[in-house]
Amino acid sequence: MAVSYFTEEGLKKILEEINHMETVERPSISAQIAEARDKGDLSENAEYDAAKEAQGLLEMKISELKSKVANARVIDKSQIDTSEVKLLTKVTLKNQKNGATITYEIVPDAEANLKAKKIAVSTPIAQGLLGKKVGEVAEVKVPAGIMPFEILDITI
């Protein structure tokens, strides 16, 4: 499995999610299975089938998250160079077509949140900005065509 990059907060959030699934959701599903089993004939018991399916999906999700954690690398923000756009930098852009400015933080895919202005490193915009320096213009390919963005500032 590929290495997954996280901020310290992002990794903590995943560990909390795993803990919740193992300590709250898993026992709840086990109780549902036991309750359905007590109702008799399992061959025609929809509640039992549904609970077993939910258990399988939960175990699969726990396994996927544990795999991500096993291959996780935490990125130390204090070691990031802000001379160019890279993962975990905040970049202030000016759209050269309409003059609008916006600031985005480039984050690992698992931590993307557009409402918080955190865009995944794999997105077309982030890919077009990576490696650019203040003052440069990034030609970003978007569905509507090519968007020219001037890099105004790069911070952490």
Examine the pLDDT at 152 and tell me if it is beyond 80.
yes
Residue 76 three-state SS: coil
Provide the sign of the torsion angle of the four alpha carbons 59, 61, 63, 66, taken in this order.
negative
- The token pair at 15 is 């560990």
CATH number of the domain located at residue range(s) 77-155 in this protein: 3.10.50.30
CATH number of the domain located at residue range(s) 4-74 in this protein: 1.10.287.180
What's the confidence (pLDDT) of residue 49?
87
Same fold, 4-74 and 77-155: no
Examine the pLDDT at 109 and tell me if it is beyond 90.
no
Please give the single-letter amino acid code of residue 63: S
Examine the pLDDT at 1 and tell me if it is beyond 60.
no
- The token pair at 36 is 């359905």
What are the pLDDT digits (tens) for 25-77?
999 999 998 888 887 777 777 888 888 999 999 999 999 999 888 888 888 77
| Average pLDDT estimate for 138-147 | 87
